[in-house]
Amino acid sequence: MTSSSAALSSSPSSAAASEGIAAAAIRRLTALTPLADADLTLLDTAADRALTYPVRHTFQTIGRPVADPLLLLQGWAARVRILPDGRRQFMSFYLPGDVIGSTHHAHPIASATVVAITECVACPAPAAPAGSGLAQAYAVGEALDEAYLLGHVVQLGRLNAQERISDFLLEIYERLSLAGLTVGGSFEMPLTQEMLADALGLTPVHVNRMIQQARRDGDLMWKSGRVLLRDPERTARTIGRLSPQVTGTQTMPQARVD
Amino acid sequence: MTSSSAALSSSPSSAAASEGIAAAAIRRLTALTPLADADLTLLDTAADRALTYPVRHTFQTIGRPVADPLLLLQGWAARVRILPDGRRQFMSFYLPGDVIGSTHHAHPIASATVVAITECVACPAPAAPAGSGLAQAYAVGEALDEAYLLGHVVQLGRLNAQERISDFLLEIYERLSLAGLTVGGSFEMPLTQEMLADALGLTPVHVNRMIQQARRDGDLMWKSGRVLLRDPERTARTIGRLSPQVTGTQTMPQARVD
DNA sequence: CGCTACTTTGATAGTGCTCAACCGGTGTGG
DNA sequence: CCACACCGGTTGAGCACTATCAAAGTAGCG
């Protein structure tokens, strides 16, 4: 039953068994695609086997076989790569409702290390019957994953520091909204500025300065682990962020595509 | 039979029917995983329906439904995103043996635009029988795709201009090697320096300067669309590049993973 | 109360960008 | 056959954004 055993750091403590522990994850999955009662039952059952993982727990390690997929119920995890000289890059983040280590088939070697950013609660991702809503939800989730990854590439390649921060926070805001984890435009941000820097390809110092400027400009509030975006939609338009939801209806400038 | 019809730019011209047109792609797929005769037959048959696509052909457009998957036989294609103000970012490249628009299931909306960088020859990707070598090859190919995408994130986030160029060329070198498209350490590079800049998050001018410096340092030769890397392995070690092949055996520094 | 981790500030350096022009090859049309 | 246009590569000068180094300020916590 213990899905991921050999952890480098500390190992998962036995589960917290309270109900509703999977609420956010379920909200997020149903937001992706409608789920039938059978799907919800699967999820509830799986949630009974949820475990709590401490901060820094390593879900999977680059170059080692991936374990069975986990459905993240609470907390944040991240895919990270550390260079030999210590430089660190966060490649993506897992939020409640995301599946860690989903591997439809493919070779079982992890292409990235996944660590818990905060304390996490996760359960084995229930196998989805072919054609079920749950299967569809997984599929959409994976597609979104890739879309976010592509977005991250654009962000790192072509946005300046200010834009990267806005774009990142907007993405998180969007994703947490799906899970019902935002309150009046604000949300919990467990990342330190240093981690944010390592996600955005910047220096902690510079991230700090840009955040302060955004604060001065009245674009955001960020205090004690909670972020409030003043006008998400305006900001999104300003930096030309295309949210996955909107993607479907948005056209690209025809200009240079060669 | 015409897999992708409504092209923004010019449309595919009817096929070149010569044999061996799929040689590179087949070499690459067999390098990923052993293929049975049945698989090879499937590929050969599919190759008969190959079409030639002109430069700038749009295989899929962001926000629009994806067509059936294509197996790229010859040429380069790329996933690209253009920002409203004209900034351009190449997110990944497709080389011979890669599948364009593979979508196991998932929602049919393209999360990126895919265009032909050079003239391309491609055929419908033959459906792989479950459990076949071909299915395995597809799976491994997709896993590699993601690994390269993750690598691209690290590259953009944490490598300097010099390192990005080296890393990129090494990746291409590796990938072309699998398809048998390298000759004595050299390979064809159809990208202009401007396109390279848009892949690496740099300016064409700066790319040019870094390339010249690499030339002066004796690290590479680049003339009339052909690149020769002097000592790929040394360079790879220098910038700490972990090639997917090696990934399986390499360990990460334990240091900071929090 | 003293840690420890995180944020903030200042001063300075440097990598990579911008703007602008020039060069060299190639293709095309007069 | 040569002039012209065009594209990609090259060069120069100056600047901006972001990094670096170092230290001080804050907040949560045992």
Locate B167 and state its tokens: 């890393």
Task: Using the predicted structure, report yes or no on whether residue A247 has a pLDDT greater than 50.
Answer: no
Which of the four pLDDT bands, split at 50, 70 and 90, describes residue B237? Answer: confident
- Please tell me the predicted confidence (pLDDT) of residue A11: 54
**Residue A58: closest C-alpha in chain B:** B257
- Residue A88 beta carbon within 7 A of nucleic strand C: no
Of B30, B48, B31, B28, which Cα lies nearest the Cα of B39? Answer: B30
Task: Assign domain B1-130 to its CATH superfamily.
Answer: Jelly Rolls (2.60.120.10)
Mean pLDDT of B76-87: 95
Residue B50 half-sphere exposure, CB side, CA atoms within 13 Å? 26
| d(C-alpha B109, C-alpha A250), whole Å | 11
- Residue A206 beta carbon within 7 A of nucleic strand C: no
Taking the Cβ of residue B113 and every Cβ of chain A, the question of whether any pair is shorter than 8 Å is answered with yes
Instruction: Look at A247-256, B74-83, B153-162 and tell me which has the smallest mean pLDDT.
Output: A247-256
Mean pLDDT of A21-48: 95
Residues 138-167 of chain B whose Cβ lies under 8 A from any Cβ of chain A: 139-140, 142-143, 146-147, 149-150, 152-154, 156-158
Residues 234-253 of chain B whose Cβ lies under 8 A from any Cβ of chain A: 240, 244, 247-253
Straight-line distance from CA B10 to C1' D11, in Å?
37
Whole-number average pLDDT of chain B: 87
- Where are chain B's structural domains? 1-130, 159-239
- Please tell me the predicted confidence (pLDDT) of residue B13: 54
- For the ranges A11-15, B190-194, B239-243, the maximum mean pLDDT occurs at B190-194
Taking the Cβ of residue A37 and every Cβ of chain B, the question of whether any pair is shorter than 8 Å is answered with no
Task: Using the predicted structure, report yes or no on whether residue B17 has a pLDDT greater than 90.
Answer: no
Q: Is B2 left (phi over 0), alpha (psi -120 to 50) or beta?
A: beta
Q: If you search the block for the tokens 């009339």, which residue do you land on?
A: B224
Are B149 and A147 inside 8 Å of each other by CB?
no
| d(C-alpha B214, C-alpha B208), whole Å | 10
Straight-line distance from CA B54 to C1' D19, in Å?
43
CATH number at A159-240: 1.10.10.10
Do residues B7 and B58 lie in contact, with contact meaning Cβ atoms separated by under 8 Å? yes
CATH number at B159-239: 1.10.10.10
A248 against A199, higher pLDDT: A199
The sheet with strand A182-183 has its strands ordered as A182-183, A186-188, A226-229, A220-223
- Please tell me the predicted confidence (pLDDT) of residue B258: 47
* Distances in whole angstroms, Cα of residue A136 to Cα of each of A69, A207, B66, B73, B225: 16, 38, 17, 31, 44
Using only C-alpha atoms, what is the Rg of chain B?
A: 18
Which of the four pLDDT bands, split at 50, 70 and 90, describes residue B56? Answer: very high
- For the ranges B89-98, B182-191, B233-242, the maximum mean pLDDT occurs at B89-98
Q: Cβ contacts (< 8 Å) between B105 and chain A: which residues?
A: 135-136, 139
Locate B40 and state its tokens: 């090879």
Task: Using the predicted structure, report yes or no on whether residue A227 has a pLDDT greater than 50.
Answer: yes
| d(C-alpha B202, C-alpha B165), whole Å | 10
Which of the four pLDDT bands, split at 50, 70 and 90, describes residue A107? Answer: low
Q: Is A234 left (phi over 0), alpha (psi -120 to 50) or beta?
A: alpha
Of A97, A126, A213, A133, which Cα lies nearest the Cα of A166? Answer: A213
Paired residues of B227 in beta bridges: B187, B222
Query: Within chain A, how many helices (H) and strands (E) appear?
Result: 8, 12
The sheet with strand A58-60 has its strands ordered as A58-60, A113-116, A77-82, A88-94
Look at chain A and count its residues.
258
Predicted confidence (pLDDT) per residue in A132-175, tens digit: 999 999 999 999 999 999 999 999 999 999 999 999 999 999 99
Are B112 and A255 inside 8 Å of each other by CB?
no
Question: What's the gap in Å between the CA of B133 and the closest CA on chain A?
Answer: 12
Which of the four pLDDT bands, split at 50, 70 and 90, describes residue A77? Answer: very high
Cβ-proximal residues to A201 (8 Å cutoff; 6+ apart), any chain: A89, A156, A164, B156, B157, B158
Predicted confidence (pLDDT) per residue in B99-129, tens digit: 999 887 656 789 999 999 999 999 999 999 9
Locate A110 and state its tokens: 């992890």
**Quick one: DSSP state of residue A52?**
E
Which of the four pLDDT bands, split at 50, 70 and 90, describes residue A2? Answer: very low
Do residues B41 and B96 lie in contact, with contact meaning Cβ atoms separated by under 8 Å? no
Are B82 and A256 inside 8 Å of each other by CB?
yes
Q: Is A75 left (phi over 0), alpha (psi -120 to 50) or beta?
A: left
Paired residues of B93 in beta bridges: B78
- Please tell me the predicted confidence (pLDDT) of residue B253: 36
| d(C-alpha B164, C-alpha B214), whole Å | 12
- Please tell me the predicted confidence (pLDDT) of residue A199: 98
- Residue A119 beta carbon within 7 A of nucleic strand C: no
Whole-number average pLDDT of chain A: 87
Do residues A97 and A27 lie in contact, with contact meaning Cβ atoms separated by under 8 Å? yes
